[in-house]
Structures are given as C-alpha cells and as structure tokens.
Structure 1
Amino acid sequence: MTASPEWTDEQIAAASAAELSAGRLPMRAQWRLAEQRGRAERGEPGAFTSDLTIEEFAAIRSVGFSPVGQVMGSAVYNVGWAYSGCGYYGYYGYGMAPVVPVPATQQLLNQARHRAVNRMRQECQALDGDGVVGVRLAVQRFHDIGLEFFAIGTAVRADGRKRPKKPFTSDLSGQDFAKLLRAGWVPVALVQGVGAMVRHKDRLQLAWGSSWFNQELVGSTKLVQAARAAARDSLTADARKAGGHTVVLRDTVLQVFESRCASGSEGEDQHTNAYLWGTAIVPYRRAAVSETPLQMLRLDR
C-alpha cells in the first residue's frame, strides 16, 4: 500500500488500525521506511540516520557491519485492574503478612515490551537490516489513559554474504557489539525479566518502622527478594525462548510504592516491581580472534 495525497487523517488512522491488527506497522511508518530505503538504494545523501557516536560507528564498521537507519517501536496499553489480593485474609492481621505475586501486572509489562521491540524489529526488516544495536527501552505515562512502552535503536546490516535469518535486537553499545563479535559471540535478542509482588503492611512492619533501634524490616526484605527472584526466573525463560545461550545483563531497576489496601481492610499495601534487561547471546565459533593492536607514536621524540 502506498501513500496517497487524497487520504484523510481518518482514512490513514483506519488503515493503520487494520495494519496493526494484522501484525504489521502503521501506515506512516511504512511510508517513512519505504522512502528511506529508496533513498539508500539510489545512493542519495541522508539515506540513514542514527544516534550512534563516532566511536560506536567506527567500532561497528570494524567488524563488518554498517548502520542503515534509526528504528523504533511503541505500544500504548491501558492499565486495568491488576489486583490479586495482598494476602491479608490469609493471616487476618496477626503475625507477618505473606508476599503475593501479581501475575496480571507481570503479563502486561512483558507483553507490552515484546510488542514494542517486535515493531522495532519490523522496521529493521523494512530497511533490509540484520539487527538493531544500542536499543533503549522506556516506559512513560500516556496522558491519563495508560502507559507507552517505547524502544529505539540503530539498525545495522552485515557487509558480507553471511546474514542472520532473523534480525537480532540488542542493547549493547557499538563498542560492546564489536567486542562481542571478536570474542566469538553474537547477539540474539533483547530479553527482559519482570517480577511484580505485593504484601500488606502488617503490624510488625509498622512497629519495626517506628522503632528507635536499627533493625531489619524482614517483611520488606522478603518482598524485594521475591520480586527479584521472579524477575530472574522471567529473564531465564525469555532468554530460553529466544534461543540464547547466556545473557549479558545491562540494567536492573526496582520500583517500590505503596497504596491503600484494596482488600477492604485498613492500612496500606507495599508493591514492588523488579526489572532485569539484557541481551541473549550465542557462540558462533570456538576460537576467539584477538583484537588488532593499536599503533602508538610517542610524542616526546
């Protein structure tokens, strides 16, 4: 489908909705990528854009890859009712409250991230790219109706004839990408681990929190430990699904907040969301190739 100057905004929106439902990119993205690829095939200046630094550009070119354009993907989700109970009715206010997983939140965060990254990969394919490097993930408020999950990076293409069957995604910098290839490994996919947990702020927590003595808040410790453990399990499952051998961890984030108890009891609930982001990698040869030594010229002679 090609752009038409007679199309109204309503027609473009309707066509884009149909394309998204079919698992493809919206119309404006398809037109932008087709124009960009056409400029590159004709050898026109400004055929690609990227957010690579000079060092990243040089590192990527040194291992036989060339940037072909900046690519992105996004998904806006309405955050509905995700409460699964805080465990209050399991202990009725006596003793230590249990830690309860929130599977609906975990499923939302995983699904939204996968859709944003997959649309970014589709843009890479539209530019005839072999992968995306330097991917940055972001989650931000979308007005008052939900959250936008956003992924952006630079698509690259192999200079030789050997090309991957499916474009890879990676949050590695250009320098790290080059080092990885020289060491005999290749990126497979950007992977994520999510753990979402909640527990009721029990009487013990309130008493310990108002104490004059230095002591561990055992309930809070169990909460963050459970969230991080769930995130590790989620990361392992995501990497295994992508076919990765191991994961190069890039970033870890822990979000902690409180809300009024939704179980009908008095008091508050403590929520914790743990995130792990990295790149799943696989070996492609046994013998690693050492880096070419840099030539040095002494300036004092």
Structure 2
Amino acid sequence: MTGLDDWSYAKDWAPEQIAYASAAELAAGRLPLRAQWRLAEQRQRAERGDPGAFTSDLTVEEFAAIRSVGFAPVGQVLGTAVYQFAAVYQGCGFIGASPAGAPVVGLQLAQASLDEARHLAVRRMRFECDALGGDGVVGVRLGVLPFHDIGLEFLAIGTAVRAAGAVRPPRPFTCDLSGQDFTKLIRAGWVPVALLQGVGVTVRHNDWSQRIQSLSWANQELVGATALIQGARSVARTGLARDAARVGAHTVVLRDLMSRMYERKCLSGYEAHDRIAEVVLWGTGIVPFGRKHRPHPAATEPPLPMLRLNPRKETG
C-alpha cells in the first residue's frame, strides 16, 4: 500500500469528498482515508514514545508470552468487508426421478464469494499491520454479522506485533493462535505464515428417497444428508490445501470448523425443497525456521522454583 501521509491534505475535505476518495482507495486495494489517518497518527505516537501509543486485546498472559520470545504489540488491527449475496444459488442439478437419487452439486459462485469476502477482510487487516510497522498479527478472530438487512459484514480483528530482532518476514504474517500458542510455536522452531481457510458449499434436492426416510419411524442414516455434508467438507479441505500451497505452508494448525445446513425452495420447478450445506475450515499455515533464527536463549522459560509447603523435620 502507499504511504499513509499521501492524503494528509484531504482532512479538511467535505464528508462526501472523503467518502468518494475512500471508495477509490478501496477499489485500488488500499484502506479508506480515515483508516489511513488513524494508523499514521498511531504510528507517529509510537515513534515519539507517547503513552498509550498502542492498543491490543491481548490478555496479561498473552502479552507476557509474546514478549518472552522477542515480540511486542504495536496495535489492534481490523479488516472488514460488506458483501451482498444476491446470485449464489444456481439450482440443484436435479432433472427428474432417478434410482440413484439426487446428486450433490457444488455451488461454485457461493463458495467463491464467501472465500473472497473473508480473504479481503484478512488482507485489509494485514494492511493495517503493515501501516503500523508490524511484522504480523496474532490472535485473529473471524466473524460474520448481518449488515442492515442488505448483506453480511465479514470481520477480521487481531493484535499486530513486531519482532525485536533483525530478522523480518517478507510480509506481515497472520494467525489465529493465542499469545501462548504463538509462543509455543516459536519455541518449537516454527513460525506462522498466514491465516488459511477452505470453503465448501453444496446442494442436494430433497428427493423422494430423502422424504421417505424422513417419514420413517426407524433409526437410520439419512444417506442423502450424509452425502451432502461430506461433499461440502471435501470441497472445504481441498480449498484449505490449495490455500496452504499458495502461501508455501508446510502444514496447517487447524483452529476451527463451522458447518450449517438449511433449505430453500427448489428453483427447478419442483414442489420439494433443496438442502444446502456450508462448511468453512480455517487455521494457521506454518513453516519451520533455522536454529540460527530461533529466539535468544534468554527468552526461554527458566525452571519453576519449588517450595515444600509441609517441610519434614530433619531427624538426627
């Protein structure tokens, strides 16, 4: 992204002018003007050593943990993207009665939109980290909120940190590891690369076989529903592996899995409904680093002192 001082002269503009210029900045892959001004002011306070120069949502334990491996927080960072999902459902692929039942069909447009929205929020969060002079973001939390009934807001929020040593990553890393887990990872000889995700969205027509099973009193597997959710998870795992390969991660520390299933009226003209499954996997891609780049021995934890609470008397 460009320097944050490029738009300092625009602070006296009318709100409409600022909004128009901010939209142009977003379209160019940068941050809105007010975000750029806020980050520039925060970085200047930090460079002057002013009190309260940084904010974070780290706990005391997390703060102490990351400091013990040579990192310090530089500020809380946020990325957001509001998306409208108007055309994500293209139909179920069901063309009539079949002995094999309805197929499981991937909704490519929905998958691509969900994937793009989260990646955009994370990318803007990383831009804020870069603007503050940070080397990475820890404790990232991802969220999705309804936005005034017109769309969904995708959020990524975390704490930017900076290493005390001379070794700098080529670009800020992102991870959803807590401060303690981040510290354990560094001491084990690994470093985070990027927050990764895989998205799978599949649809299956609620055909005659599924309806018959639903009306039965017997305890049994709902074969169609199993195939639907398995298909979505398979697509999500493939997307996660592709994301890991893109950033060069050796492995992924899987943090969470979100899945949901809902129904929609069939678009193919049938009276029944279609069932849609959404699965999202996310975690942190990590790579090993050389021994010469590991934290200084002084950063390792000393052994805990032990004190006997009930000392036994020495007998002569």
The alpha carbon displacement at 1:141 in A equals 1.1
Q: Distance in 2 between matches of 1:286 and 1:221?
A: 46
- Partner of residue 294 from structure 1, selected from 287, 290, 304: 304
CA contact (8 A) 2:10 2:18 kept: no
Q: What SS class does the counterpart of residue 162 from structure 1 fall into?
A: coil
Q: What SS class does the counterpart of residue 88 from structure 1 fall into?
A: coil
- Partner of residue 226 from structure 1, selected from 228, 231, 244: 231
Q: Give the direction of change, closer, same or farther, for the CA distance of 1:55–1:179 in structure 2 (3 Å limit).
A: same
Q: Which residue identity lines up with residue 238 of structure 2 in the other structure?
A: D
- Partner of residue 193 from structure 2, selected from 188, 192, 216: 188
CA contact (8 A) 1:60 1:174 kept: yes
CA contact (8 A) 2:192 2:286 kept: yes
After superposition, the C-alpha distances for 1:30-59 in whole angstroms (9 at most, x for unaligned) are 011011111111111110000000000000
Of 158-167 and 4-13, more deviation after overlay is shown by 4-13
Instruction: Please name the residue that 2:314 is paired with.
Output: none
Q: Flag structure 1 segments of 5+ consecutive residues without an equivalent.
A: none
Percent identity of equivalent pairs: 63
Q: Give the direction of change, closer, same or farther, for the CA distance of 1:34–1:255 in structure 2 (3 Å limit).
A: same
The alpha carbon displacement at 1:293 in A equals 2.5
CA contact (8 A) 2:190 2:287 kept: yes
The alpha carbon displacement at 1:72 in A equals 0.5
Q: Flag structure 2 segments of 5+ consecutive residues without an equivalent.
A: 1-6, 312-316
Q: Which residue identity lines up with residue 306 of structure 2 in the other structure?
A: M
The question of 1:64 aligning with 2:70 is answered: yes
Instruction: Please name the residue that 1:9 is paired with.
Output: 15
5 Å-filtered alignment, 1:1-301, equals: 1-2=7-8, 4=10, 6-89=12-95, 91-92=96-97, 95-285=100-290, 292-301=302-311
Q: Which residue identity lines up with residue 240 of structure 2 in the other structure?
A: L
Q: What SS class does the counterpart of residue 11 from structure 1 fall into?
A: helix
CA contact (8 A) 1:93 1:203 kept: no
Q: What SS class does the counterpart of residue 193 from structure 2 fall into?
A: strand
Q: What SS class does the counterpart of residue 266 from structure 1 fall into?
A: coil
The alpha carbon displacement at 1:3 in A equals 5.6
The alpha carbon displacement at 1:5 in A equals 5.1
Q: What SS class does the counterpart of residue 208 from structure 1 fall into?
A: helix
Q: What SS class does the counterpart of residue 153 from structure 1 fall into?
A: strand
The alpha carbon displacement at 1:296 in A equals 3.0
Q: What SS class does the counterpart of residue 231 from structure 2 fall into?
A: helix
Q: Which residue identity lines up with residue 9 of structure 1 in the other structure?
A: P
Q: Give the direction of change, closer, same or farther, for the CA distance of 1:286–1:44 in structure 2 (3 Å limit).
A: closer
Number of equivalenced pairs: 300
Of 287-296 and 117-126, more deviation after overlay is shown by 287-296
The alpha carbon displacement at 1:295 in A equals 2.5
The alpha carbon displacement at 1:80 in A equals 1.7
TM-score of the aligned structures, taking structure 1 as reference length? 0.96
TM-score of the aligned structures, taking structure 2 as reference length? 0.91
